[in-house]
Chains A and B, each alone.
Chain A
């Protein structure tokens, strides 16, 4: 068994696993377990991110294929591009509205479902509300594209039937409403997913806490506020961070429903990146937009890391 251990050089000691101070050449064989994953992730996940920053400092002539170094010009262009600011605003709207419905709304809904008496009913509603989340957002996006159409969709027909005919409009064709119509679809598609997660978190709360609260004479709302809310706080924090991260990466549904239109009014960073990079072949500028998405998701990612770490320390 024993290859003679020798003392680790000081610099390697901090890297050694589990506090073992010895370094045995044999242990290098363990790398075979992780080699494939490390190579694939480094090559296809990390390297492109690095490359993206290099591309973002260049400008490529699509006719000659000639690449010129432009330094930070693409980033300066970002600051002057009104569509970038509009996209950021739309991503922000996406995040804010999703927090209201997919975090707070979903939490209340999960509490309502878990408060039902019948185990069967709980399972039934959780599953029903989750169905849209199982379906591709490309499909639900297309579906709502039709639902919002004035000629064949049913939304305007519902409004008309309920006496709200004044509100009827081509939801996706109107600059004022396009982005809200897309966000509304995304709430419809996603709330069941977070409801399910909150339901799981609520189930983990020990039943005795509720019994104690009942003995103390706490009504349903008091129990919700004093037991359920504090004990699912971690999940709520995580859901907020995940929702914000997702909101700044949004692409599919906007692409399918409006492709950023009309008149760029529903553009988000993802679709603007696609249009610049792939429709107009401004690879360099597209890469600079990608760098903005990277910066935002990095911030939320770090927030999530700190959050989970703090939580683990508390436990």
Chain B
């Protein structure tokens, strides 16, 4: 599909109009100014990671005098490495669980003759409306009773359970649009449901599954409420919680705090640029259906 122009679009044969030129200059200037507003704070954060306290308190706009990596190395050794490990572990484990279970569920909801299917669809997708905030007090008691409080498992289980509705929603919508003739042919050849799922449906769903994984990574990597409550103990914290811990312990050494923030932000920005296409597909499918 070709991209449509919205406004300020050129009519090819139109005579050069002074006002349209001015409007276009104004448009570009606006976009650039907004770009600066977006990027400057992030640049400032990375810059301050190279400064010592004296420089940070001096001129906030100055470039660092020396490009020394001490703060970054410090931040890495005094916490960021451990938080990063926990974050990666929790994110990867919960992403795999969520996507696998959701794909299974979506298959059951689109390809089988399950009795009471509308009810199950309603039950699973209805979870989309329920927010973690509302559940948090009972969950604390539940996790304590299950002995999962202050373990990685609490986060893995909760991230999975709370993201199954959304991922199932995306994968189910995708599966509904997939042609079924291949499945039917395979059934006639004697393939079981399990084989059809693994060999036919799952590979066909690869694009939406990649989108789901990326959206889940974005969610799990950045989640704060559950992480703060269920992994508060030292050595268990994910990056966002760990950052606030670094604030509390090295709060007076600002350079280290800025370096830690930059290091935490970097991986997800890299993931975004590497997988932009899937990212956008997931977002637009998720909201548009």
Interface membership of B208, Cβ < 8 A: no
Q: Is the CB of B11 within 8 A of A290?
A: no
Within 8 A of A (CB), among B243-289: 243-244, 247, 254, 257-258, 261, 264-265, 268-269, 271-273, 276, 280, 283-284, 287-289
Q: Which residues of A contact B284 (CB under 8 A)?
A: 197, 200-201
Interface size class of B (residues with CB under 8 A): 35 or more
Interface membership of B66, Cβ < 8 A: no
Nearest residue, chain B, Cβ from A147: B41
Q: Which residues of B contact A273 (CB under 8 A)?
A: 133, 136-137
State A127–B109 Cα separation when bound (angstroms).
35
Within 8 A of B (CB), among A140-160: 142-144, 146-147, 151-154, 157
Partner of B283, one of A142, A196, A251, A256: A196
Q: Is the CB of A200 within 8 A of B280?
A: yes
Chain B residues touching A, majority SS: helix
Q: Is the CB of B113 within 8 A of A20?
A: yes
Number of A-B pairs, beta carbon distance below 8 Å: 317
Interface membership of B67, Cβ < 8 A: no
State A249–B135 Cα separation when bound (angstroms).
12
Chain B proximity of A104: nearest CB distance (Å)? 15
Q: Which residues of B contact A294 (CB under 8 A)?
A: 130-131, 134
Interface membership of A238, Cβ < 8 A: yes
State A139–B280 Cα separation when bound (angstroms).
22
Q: Which residues of A contact B137 (CB under 8 A)?
A: 52, 55, 273, 277, 283, 286-287, 290
Apart from A30-B112, A128-B38, A207-B5, 20 more pairs, CB < 8 Å: A30-B113, A33-B108, A45-B127, A49-B130, A111-B6, A115-B8, A116-B8, A117-B10, A131-B272, A138-B224, A139-B261, A139-B265, A154-B61, A201-B284, A202-B6, A214-B11, A224-B7, A252-B240, A255-B224, A291-B134
19 contacts between A and B (CB under 8 A): A16-B116, A16-B117, A17-B114, A20-B113, A27-B112, A27-B114, A37-B105, A37-B168, A48-B136, A51-B142, A122-B3, A137-B224, A223-B7, A252-B224, A255-B224, A287-B138, A290-B133, A290-B134, A293-B133
Contact surface of B with A, Cβ cutoff 8 Å: 1-11, 23, 27, 30-31, 34-35, 37-39, 41-42, 44-45, 48, 56-57, 60-61, 101-102, 104-105, 107-109, 112-120, 123-124, 127-131, 133-142, 157-158, 160-162, 164-165, 168, 193, 218, 221-222, 224-225, 228-229, 239-240, 243-244, 247, 254, 257-258, 261, 264-265, 268-269, 271-273, 276, 280, 283-284, 287-289
